[in-house]
Each structure stands twice: as structure tokens, then as C-alpha cells.
Amino acid sequence: MKPFLEFEGKNVNKAVKTACSELNIDKKDLEYDVLSSGSSGIFGLVRIKNAKIRVKLSKAQENTIKASEKIDVFSSEGVSSLVDEAFGDTGSKSNNFKSSNNKPIAKNSFTGKPDGNKYFGKGTTSSNITENTATERPEFPRSFMHKEPVSDEIEALGLEVLRKITDLITDDAVITVKNDIGRLSFNIEGGKSAMLIGRRGQTLEALQYLVDKIVNKQSDYRIRVQIDVEGYLDTRRDNLKSLARKLAEKAKYTGKSTTIGQMNAHDRRIVHLTLKDDKGIRTQSMGDGYYRRLVIFPRKSQYRNKKQAQPYRPYSQRTTPQHHSTQPATNMVENLNESSVEIPVEIPVETKMEA
């Protein structure tokens, strides 16, 4: 449980009023910091921003909220809210949709379906495509990162959540957990592994997202959750490294950028680290949202040096066929004059005329 809560409103007073109503305390007992005073925008029509405050919770309030949340962790409403937070509202046509409680959708939410067919393609250097790293930042500040092994209570919670979900998908699945410093690593063996992994690992990624959200909702510190199914993560990592090297060679050979379409932050990080020591290319993530494209750009100097390694040879410098004489005409005349060939001279024979 976080030691603070954030509330929003059209202005600071309304945000404070909302906080007092939800926490059931008086305004004089409320300790808060103003994060944003809000803005009325242009003529009250566009660029409107709500005011935001951060309320500091007392120990009694933390215990009360934590107890109520533990009761509702496995309720249908709790699971539905996590799914809506992860994948967005299916009825909304805009990414800026806001829910009825005036809280915006989480920045690290999924913004669309990945296009798994576009692995190869020409890159683009359009100025309207920029790299946005805001959604890849952790929800917790670095001061909230867990630096000790995860407690037995949180470990049991994560194991129970994952077991309940997998039992609805497949039978005979054995789950083991490894407790590291600030990390819970789950491994699933047996059962229908293909159904747990899904196409390009999307089902496994969704499982990991849900367990991560539920575990960190009950924890005061950030805990990283990783779920693997029969060594799938190692196989996928090797395939991504191989693909990255092949596309890097293609970019250096053709002099054109190559693109890997729609990957999550974990997969993009694998490609970046694989190619970071290659001086002939550079990598960059393109787009917004959870899934982004990764573009591999060749460096101009590398491609220029490759072209200079095999310079263009004019036709006059190329090897001529053997049946053509390579001796200049002037040399042929000189050799002809200096030749010792004797030309026979015909002597006329006198014929005697008979008288």
C-alpha cells in the first residue's frame, strides 16, 4: 500500500473536497500537497487540466484501506478494473477517454494491438514520429524500490493469484516461485503450455501484468514480477538476439533502415543491448504507448566505407578478351618497318626472237 493517495478536481478546492469525502475526514485534518493547480484552458474548450493533490495517509488510514483492498482483491470488480486499466475501455474510440471518477487511464496502459506481421520493412525518419520514454518509467520512484527479499505474505499472494488464473486455463500445471531481492520469478511446468503462452507470448504477458498489478497493490514497495512457461523466455530472448543481428547486417549492407514491428519494453531492451556495441548501426524506439517499433539505422560513414572498398572500374581498365590485340597501332607499324622479311624481286627473262 502506498503511503499517499492522489485526487483530482476542476480546482484545488474540489480536489480537497473529493479527498475528504472518500477518506471520511475533515478538511482541517487532511494533510496534502498540491501537485498541479489545474488550468481552464483556452476559452474553457481545449487544453483543460484538472487540479491534482497528493494526500498523506496516517497509519490508521493505511491499515483501513489495506484491509478493504485485501477483501476485494479476487472480486469480479477488482479483476475487471485491472483488465480495464491494462487494455483500456473497448467502447472508447479515443485514447484520451476518462472514466466516471475523473481519473485518467494509466499512462502505461496498452494502446492498441500489436502488428506481428511487420518484422521487416523500410524505416522512416519522419519528424512527427518521436521517441517517448515516459510510459516506460516505473510507477514507483527509485526510493520505493524493494531492496530486500519479498515477504512471505506477498509471495503467497502472488502464488495464489497465478494458481487461480492458470486453473481456469489448464489443468495439471505446476507452479514454482523463486524469491529474489525485489523480484518474484514464477515458473509454470506442465499443462497446456501453448495456451498459457499465446501468440507471440501475449497471453503470458497479460498473466504477468495482472499478477504484477495485484501484488504491487498490496505492497509498500515496488516488486518486479516475472512469469516463465517451460523456458519460453530464454528461447524468445535467443530468437530476438538472432533477429537483431540479421537486421543489423541487412541495414549495413543496403544502407537503409530496417524495422522490427510492435514490441514491448522488455523485448526492445533485449535488442538495444544486443546491438549496443555495433559501431555500424544505431537503434531507436519509435511511436507511443506500450507497444512500439524499433528501428535500426545504418551509420553513413559505415555504408560509405563499404562502397569505397569496391570502387567503380572504368571500361578501359577492365580485362579484355584474349582474341583482341592489346598492342597499339604505332608499335605495330614500327615493328613492321624493322622487320627483316625479304620481299622477292621478279627478274624478267628475255625471250629470243627467231629470225
pLDDT in the model for residue 114: 39
Residue pointed to by grid coordinates 495456451: 195
Instruction: Give the span between the Cα atoms of 2 and 143, in whole angstroms.
Output: 12
Return the C-alpha cell found at 253: 549492407
Rounded (5°) CA angle 201-205-207: 120
- Residue 221 confidence (pLDDT): 83
Q: How high is the pLDDT of residue 89?
A: 46
Q: Residue-wise pLDDT tens for the chain (355 aa)?
A: 456 788 888 888 888 888 888 888 888 888 888 888 877 766 656 667 888 888 887 766 666 655 555 545 555 555 555 555 554 444 443 344 343 444 443 434 334 443 433 433 344 333 333 343 333 444 444 445 556 778 888 889 999 999 999 988 888 889 999 988 888 999 999 888 888 888 888 889 889 999 999 998 888 888 889 999 988 999 999 999 999 999 999 999 888 999 988 888 888 999 999 999 998 999 999 888 888 899 999 987 655 555 554 454 544 554 544 544 445 544 544 444 444 444 444 445 454 455 4
- In sequence order, what are the residues at sequence separation of 6 or more whose Cβ sits closer than 8 angstroms to the Cβ of residue 117? 261
Q: Is 168 in contact with 191 (CB distance < 8 Å)? A: no
Per-residue pLDDT at 317 = 57
Predicted pLDDT at 94 = 39
pLDDT at 275: 92
Rg (CA), the chain: 37
103 within 8 A of 8, measured Cβ to Cβ: yes
The domains of the chain are located at 1-69
- How high is the pLDDT of residue 271? 93
Q: Model-level pTM greater than 0.95? A: no
